[in-house]
């Protein structure tokens, strides 16, 4: 849960998670839809999917226990060298260096590594850490280093005056702490999308995303990207025609929500509408009462639309456009 997510954001999720899934067998038994729903809001859903897949493997082949060897751990879905080292050092105090973003930054500054934090830098950092790591309390050492990076040796404006390792820091000695590591400037990809909340007989249509790729297996409202030269409404009509093979009728603006997914900044515009044509339900396409939408796992942007739909008077508006 902590990969790419702050501790503050994770705590309530973690508490609910260990209550719902006290052991690997419980996680293995739970349907994927429930696991994704419990993950909703944390983002990077591949992590939830991998946790569940790893639980399946360990319940079937390792008596429901987490292995305590590096090689066995990295064979599990979602566990790479970083996570394996974190599990072994934090849970079992084994002397493995944990190379995550905070540690990389602290070490790059301590060692004055001025290039990008790539594989070459990682090898230098790992080699320096293996001579620094205590044989005992490796977990505490790794956590201290991560905490130092999160609270003191921050990406911008490191607090060198209160840093406990300032006297060892080569970057600080040269006044280069602000330029190490070099900044990566990758602008986020901006996407404007129009989606249809199609109503029929008091229910709305939702569909499941493909099982692979971005936001795999989550539910969403049909629609898609607004192409250059299109208005929101013309994009909506085209997308629904292409995706569902029907024409949109009487679109009425419902809500605009913005959300960031990994490298995307999505600007979603939702329209209440009807569809001219039959849309039969299937395992990947459902008609659902608005009040029941909260029990499905949606990406954060679509979840905001669900709340707008339910909160924007789920009785009077739908009646006006729904039949």
Q: Minimal distance in Å, beta carbon 82 to ligand SF4?
A: 21
Smaller CB separation from ligand SF4, 40 or 102: 102
Q: Are 323 and 201 in contact (CB under 8 A)?
A: yes
Nearer CB in complex with ligand SF4: 73/153: 153
Residue labelled with tokens 């330029």: 179
Compare residues 105 and 269 and give the one whose CB is closer to ligand SF4.
105
Here's the x/- map for ligand SF4, 138-167, by CB under 6 A: it reads as --------------xx----xxx--x-xx-
Chain residues 67-86 in contact with ligand SF4, contact rule CB under 6 A: none
- What track of x and - describes contact with ligand SF4 for positions 106 through 125 (by CB under 6 A)? x--xx---------------
Query: Of 87 and 171, which CB lies nearer to ligand SF4 in the complex structure?
Result: 171
Phi and psi for 310 in degrees, rounded to 5? -70, -40
CB atoms within 10 A of CB 167: 8
Which lies closer to ligand SF4 via its Cβ, residue 128 or residue 279? 128
Nearest Cα to Cα of residue 110 among 160, 157, 151, 147: 160
Interface residue with ligand SF4, options 171, 205, 226, 309 (CB under 6 A): 171
Q: Which stretch binds ligand SF4 (CB under 6 A): 22-30, 104-112, 230-238, 279-287?
A: 104-112
For residue 285, what are the β-bridge partners? 207, 282
- Return phi, psi of residue 95, to 5°: -80, 70
Task: Find the shortest distance in angstroms from Cβ 245 to ligand SF4.
Answer: 58
* Three-state SS at 323: coil
24 interacts with ligand SF4 by CB under 6 A: no
What is the Cα Rg of the chain in Å? 24
d(CA 214, CA 298): 12
Closest distance to ligand SF4 from the beta carbon of 54 (Å): 35
The answer to whether 18 and 200 have CB atoms below 8 angstroms apart is no
Q: How far is the CB of 183 from ligand SF4 (least distance, A)?
A: 15
From the CB of 156, what's the least distance to ligand SF4, in Å? Answer: 12
Contact 254, 272 (CB under 8 A): yes
Least distance from ligand SF4 to the Cβ atom of residue 118, Å: 20
Residue 237 · residue 248 · CB < 8 Å = yes
Could you say whether residue 177 binds ligand SF4 (CB under 6 A)?
yes
H/E stretch holding 107 reads helix 101-111
Please tell me whether residue 102 binds ligand SF4 under the rule CB under 6 A: no
DSSP state of 313: T
Whats the size of the chain, residue-wise? 323
Cβ-based nearer residue to ligand SF4, 180 or 266: 180
| Cβ proximity of 99 and 116 under 8 Å | no
Q: How far is the CB of 175 from ligand SF4 (least distance, A)?
A: 10
Contact footprint for ligand SF4 (CB under 6 A):
106, 109-110, 152-153, 158-160, 163, 165-166, 169, 171-172, 177
């Amino acid at each position: 849960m902590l990969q790419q997510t702050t501790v503050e954001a994770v705590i309530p999720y973690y508490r609910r998670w260990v209550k719902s899934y006290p052991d690997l067998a419980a996680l293995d038994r739970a349907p994927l839809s429930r696991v994704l729903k419990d993950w909703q809001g944390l983002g990077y859903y591949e992590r939830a999917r991998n946790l569940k897949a790893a639980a399946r493997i360990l319940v079937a082949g390792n008596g429901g226990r987490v292995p305590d060897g590096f090689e066995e751990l990295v064979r599990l879905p979602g566990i790479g060298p970083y996570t394996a080292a974190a599990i072994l050092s934090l849970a079992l105090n084994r002397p493995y260096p944990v190379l995550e973003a905070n540690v990389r930054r602290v070490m790059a500054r301590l060692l004055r590594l001025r290039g990008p934090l790539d594989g070459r830098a990682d090898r230098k950092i790992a080699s320096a850490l293996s001579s620094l790591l205590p044989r005992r309390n490796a977990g505490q050492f790794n956590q201290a280093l991560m905490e130092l990076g999160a609270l003191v040796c921050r990406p911008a404006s490191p607090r060198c005056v209160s840093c406990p390792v300032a006297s060892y820091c080569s970057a600080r000695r040269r006044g280069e702490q602000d330029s190490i590591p070099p900044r990566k400037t990758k602008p986020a990809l901006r996407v404007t999308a129009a989606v249809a909340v199609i109503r029929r007989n008091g229910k709305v249509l939702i569909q499941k995303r493909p099982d692979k790729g971005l936001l795999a297996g989550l539910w969403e409202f049909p629609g898609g990207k607004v192409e250059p030269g299109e208005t929101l409404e013309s994009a909506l009509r085209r997308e629904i025609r292409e995706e569902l093979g029907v024409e949109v009728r009487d679109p009425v603006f419902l809500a605009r929500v913005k959300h960031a997914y990994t490298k995307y900044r999505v600007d979603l515009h939702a329209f209440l509408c009807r569809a001219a044509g039959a849309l039969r339900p299937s395992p990947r396409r459902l008609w659902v009462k608005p009040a029941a939408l909260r029990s499905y796992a949606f990406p954060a942007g679509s979840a905001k639309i669900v709340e707008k739909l339910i909160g924007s008077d789920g009785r009077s508006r739908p009646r006006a456009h729904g039949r």
